[in-house]
Amino acid sequence: MDCKNLAFEAEWYDEESGLNRTFTMIYFPESNQVQLFEPRTNKMFLKKSSVDGLKPSDIYVGSEVTILARQFWLKAFGDDYTRRVLECKNEQTFAMVHPDCVRKMGTVFAEIQKTNLRIRAATLAKLTEAQALEFYREHTGKPFLPALAQYLTSGPVLALQLQGEGAVRIWRGMIGDTDPAEAQPDTLRARFGTSKTQNGFHGSDTKEDAMREINSFFPENDRTDHRVAPITSAHLKDCTCCIVKPQAFLDGKLGPIIDSIFEAGFNISGLEVIRFNRVKASEFHEVYNGVLYEFADMVAQLQAGPCVALEITWPRTLMPGRDLITQEPMSEGDNSKFKHASQDIVLAFRALVGPFDPELARKLRPNSLRAKFGEDKVRNSVHCTDLPEDGVLEVEYCFQIMRR
């Protein structure tokens, strides 16, 4: 990164006034410090200071940085110099995982997080036939389009907004040739695609196509307008909530966590990248206020960066011969636990997540998610619903309230 100072337009939501406040943020690459001014008055809001946890890689348009317990969104470049230096690093592309490859999403996330690409947004969504035809409108009149539209509406698709230098080129290189038979062996289409139509993945051809396609799934003005954007695939019933915390997401653990969930016999029926501010993080964790000593740190962790919300449900066919609460094999005649597990997704998934403290989890449940991916009580990789009656409520909070 160039050593000259960089300027951004930064926005912070002021809880007391209920308004978004705009600042000019100056970043000093040599010292990794920041300075904040109010542009209307040009008065200093924060003198040149170091910020705990801030890394040079956090400095880009679209990033969210926490300064003095306030979450600032780097909304735009602050001057032409910063734009020239960083614009190439902010290239965006649109990626889609088709219905028959959605269960490979853990692998997809893991492969993306090995590159320099950042996951700005992601959603599991349902497409109507009209939306599928509109998305591929450049192929109007071509004989394969009806079959392609039917394929895209056969189940949820995973839509991704990716950002980073060379984003369009990198993602297209990862998915490979349109025909899986012609694709390089290590590409996603060669590994998981079955034909030119059902090749598992989509990637934008150009930067211009990327912005159009991103806006069709992640419109800036109204993400809840289902006439514009496909609706979430979340069921909002018979479900429980899992949130992959910022620590785990930013450390590249999202893919392995998702793979572990599928391997344990659960289904992921909804997915959304969400971002908590302090108010919403406190509200979401309110049940732990005064109960857990770590409450304030838990709130801080939840708002420390992007999270991934998952709706967890049972698959259509429950895994036979195994108690999904304890993960223990069952004898042929013992189906009482299995029946109980099929009725209580919250308790079954909570058992997979494991004890709150990863150290304790590694001793008592070494195969649990927190044992494998957690670091400490606060950065324990995932949150899960604790009480059976709260499963749907927490999912609704993440997939409805947070989307507003």
d(Cα 118, Cα 137) in Å, to the nearest integer?
28
d(Cα 208, Cα 285) in Å, to the nearest integer?
40
d(Cα 315, Cα 124) in Å, to the nearest integer?
16
380 class by beta-carbon count within 10 Å (0-12 exposed, 13-18 middle, 19+ buried) = buried
Nearest to 318 by CA among 342, 340, 293: 342
Answer yes or no: are the C-beta atoms of 108 and 255 closer than 8 Å.
Answer: yes
Give me the catalytic one of 98, 202, 285, 383: 202
d(Cα 86, Cα 49) in Å, to the nearest integer?
22
Is residue 202 among the annotated active site residues?
yes
Spatial CB neighbours of 317, under 8 Å, sequence gap ≥ 6: none
DSSP strand pairing (201-203 vs 92-97)? antiparallel
d(Cα 12, Cα 70) in Å, to the nearest integer?
7
C-beta atoms surrounding 368 within 10 Å: 24
Answer yes or no: are the C-beta atoms of 112 and 128 closer than 8 Å.
Answer: no
Nearest to 95 by CA among 76, 118, 62, 75: 118
Mind telling me the catalytic residues?
A: 202
